[in-house]
Structures are given as structure tokens and as C-alpha cells.
């Protein structure tokens, strides 16, 4: 990697809190202190805290889902139009390009391109593609799956999925200074302050 300067000795400093209110106040305090590379950990979503941590940025997942849904709709409709619609120039084109063409079913003399009948499948594919992009998009944006993370080195962190609330200020933060940050966190009256090893 290009970034081969000396790695900070620890990942960051972690403080443990009893409830969302304490964590929220701590995150606000850290932000106003100028720390930005910080993260909060909680057993259930508290919107106010997440918004504070991400600086009130809108989640990109919604855009991914919109794109995914649109792709599904376009694919569904165009595919059916090609396979069933039997537009001759298009058939000839795909035949020349891929050696493949659609198939026109004559059903009671109805038009080949009977597009209203294509809507149910188009709709289902919109939802299907949208749902997959929501799930895959969410995991990718979050960098999951990630089997190892330094925060798991803290013993009490097991309770982050149970009943406790944590804040980590990362050593990558320009304002980070192991002693100073520790003192700052201790000033927020947490249950415990721990160094997070790599």
C-alpha cells in the first residue's frame, strides 16, 4: 500500500456508555471538540446518533435501490418486448449479432407487442432488482462481510449487541492523541475507557 508510514500503535480509544442519551451527548461533544473519525456502536438503531455520526448525510442506499429498480423495470420490459414483440428489424439485428432472436406467438390474432400484458412481469422484476440492490448495496456500502475488526478486541464490546453503547475515536483522526483523547473521553463520565488494539 502507498500509505506505509508508521501505523499508529492502537486503533483508537473506546468509551462505554449506559444508554443512548449518554452516547448521543458524547458524540455531540466529540464532534464539537473537532473529532471526526469516530464511530458509535449500539444494539439497536437510534436515528439521532446515526445522523450525528454521519454528519447528517443522506444514505446512498436509496440511490442504489432507485438505480436497481429502474434497471429491473427496463430489463423486464425490453426483454419481453424483444422476446414476444417480434419487431422484425430488431429480430434481424439480434440474429446477426448473437445468432438469436425472439419468438412471436400468435395468440388469437392479438398484436405481438401487447405491452399491457408485459406490465406484471416488468413490475415483479422492478421489485426483485430493487430488493437485491437494497440488500447487496447496504452490505457493500457498510463494508460487510468483514470477519475481523479491531473493536472486537475490547472485552466489554460483546455488550454492544446487548445493552451497552460505545464510542470509538480512531487514531486516524488528525486531532487524535492517545493521552489527550483518553482524558477527553474520561471527562464524558463513561463506564469505562479502553484502548482498542489493532
Partner 1 sequence: MSTPETRSAAAADPILVPPGDKEILSPGHDAASVTKRIAMIPEGRTPIWMFGVFAVSFSLVGLLLTAITYLVFKGTGIWGLNIPVAWGFAIINLVWWIGIGHAGTLISAILLLLNQDWRNSINRFAEAMTLFAVACAVMFPLLHTGRPWVAAYWLLPYPNTMMLWPNFRSPLMWDVFAISTYGTVSLLFWYVGLVPDLGTMRNRAKKLWLKRLYGVLCMGWRGSARHWHHYEMAYLLLAGLSTPLVLSVHSIISFDFSVSQLPGWHTTIFPPYFVAGAVFAGFAMVMLVAIPVRKLYGLEDMLTSRHLQNMAKVTLVTGLIVCYGYLCEFIYAYYSGNPYERFVVGENRPFGPYNWAWLSLVFCNFLAIQPLWFKKVRQSVVALWIISFIISIGMWLERFVIVVMSLHRDFLPSSWDRYAGTFWDWALYLGTIGFFFSLMFLFIRFVPMIPMSEIKILLPEAKVKGGSHH
**Distance of closest approach, residue 178 Cβ to partner 1, in angstroms:** 22
**3-class DSSP assignment, residue 5:** coil
| Smaller CB separation from partner 1, 93 or 121 | 121
For the segment 118-147, give every residue that binds partner 1 (CB under 8 A): 118, 120-121, 123-125, 127-128, 130-132, 134-135, 137-139, 141-142, 144-147
Return the DSSP state at 8.
P
**Distance of closest approach, residue 4 Cβ to partner 1, in angstroms:** 26
Total number of residues that touch partner 1 (CB under 8 A) = 75
Distance CA 137, CA 185 (A): 34
| Alpha-carbon distances, residue 63 vs 69, 123, 133, 134 (angstroms) | 10, 19, 10, 9
For the segment 52-71, give every residue that binds partner 1 (CB under 8 A): 52-54, 56, 59-62, 65, 69
**Distance of closest approach, residue 97 Cβ to partner 1, in angstroms:** 14
Mind giving me the DSSP string for 95-118?
A: HHHHS-------STT--S--GGGG
Give the interface segment with partner 1, choosing from 2-10, 78-86, 170-178, 190-198 (CB under 8 A).
Answer: 78-86
| Smaller CB separation from partner 1, 27 or 188 | 27
Binding of residue 74 to partner 1 (CB under 8 A): no
Give the interface segment with partner 1, choosing from 7-15, 99-107, 173-181, 189-197 (CB under 8 A).
Answer: 99-107
**3-class DSSP assignment, residue 25:** helix
Closest CA relative to residue 83, chosen from 64, 105, 62: 105
Closest CA relative to residue 77, chosen from 32, 125, 42: 125
Those residues whose C-beta lies under 8 Å from the C-beta of residue 21, and which sit 6 or more positions away, are none
| Smaller CB separation from partner 1, 4 or 89 | 89
**Binding mask 36-55 vs partner 1 (x if CB under 8 A, - otherwise)?**
---xxxxxxxxxxxxxxxx-
Amino acid at each position: 500500500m502507498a500509505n506505509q508510514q508508521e501505523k499508529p500503535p492502537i486503533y483508537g480509544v473506546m468509551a462505554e456508555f449506559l444508554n443512548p442519551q449518554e452516547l448521543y451527548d458524547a458524540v455531540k461533544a466529540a464532534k464539537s471538540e473537532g473529532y471526526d473519525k469516530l464511530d458509535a456502536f449500539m444494539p439497536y438503531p437510534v436515528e439521532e446518533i446515526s445522523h450525528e455520526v454521519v454528519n447528517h448525510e443522506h444514505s446512498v442506499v436509496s440511490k442504489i435501490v432507485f438505480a436497481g429498480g429502474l434497471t429491473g423495470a427496463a430489463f423486464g420490459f425490453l426483454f419481453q418486448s424483444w422476446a414476444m414483440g417480434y419487431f422484425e428489424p430488431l429480430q434481424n439485428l439480434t440474429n446477426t449479432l448473437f445468432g438469436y432472436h425472439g419468438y412471436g406467438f400468435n395468440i388469437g390474432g392479438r398484436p405481438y407487442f401487447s405491452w399491457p400484458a408485459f406490465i406484471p412481469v416488468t413490475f415483479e422484476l422492478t421489485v426483485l432488482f430493487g430488493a437485491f440492490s437494497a440488500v447487496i448495496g447496504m452490505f457493500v456500502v457498510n463494508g460487510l462481510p468483514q470477519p475481523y475488526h479491531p473493536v472486537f478486541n475490547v472485552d466489554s464490546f460483546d455488550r454492544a449487541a446487548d445493552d451497552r453503547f460505545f464510542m470509538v475515536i480512531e487514531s486516524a483522526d488528525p486531532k487524535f492523541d492517545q493521552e489527550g483523547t483518553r482524558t477527553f473521553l474520561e471527562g464524558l463520565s463513561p463506564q469505562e475507557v479502553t484502548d482498542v488494539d489493532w
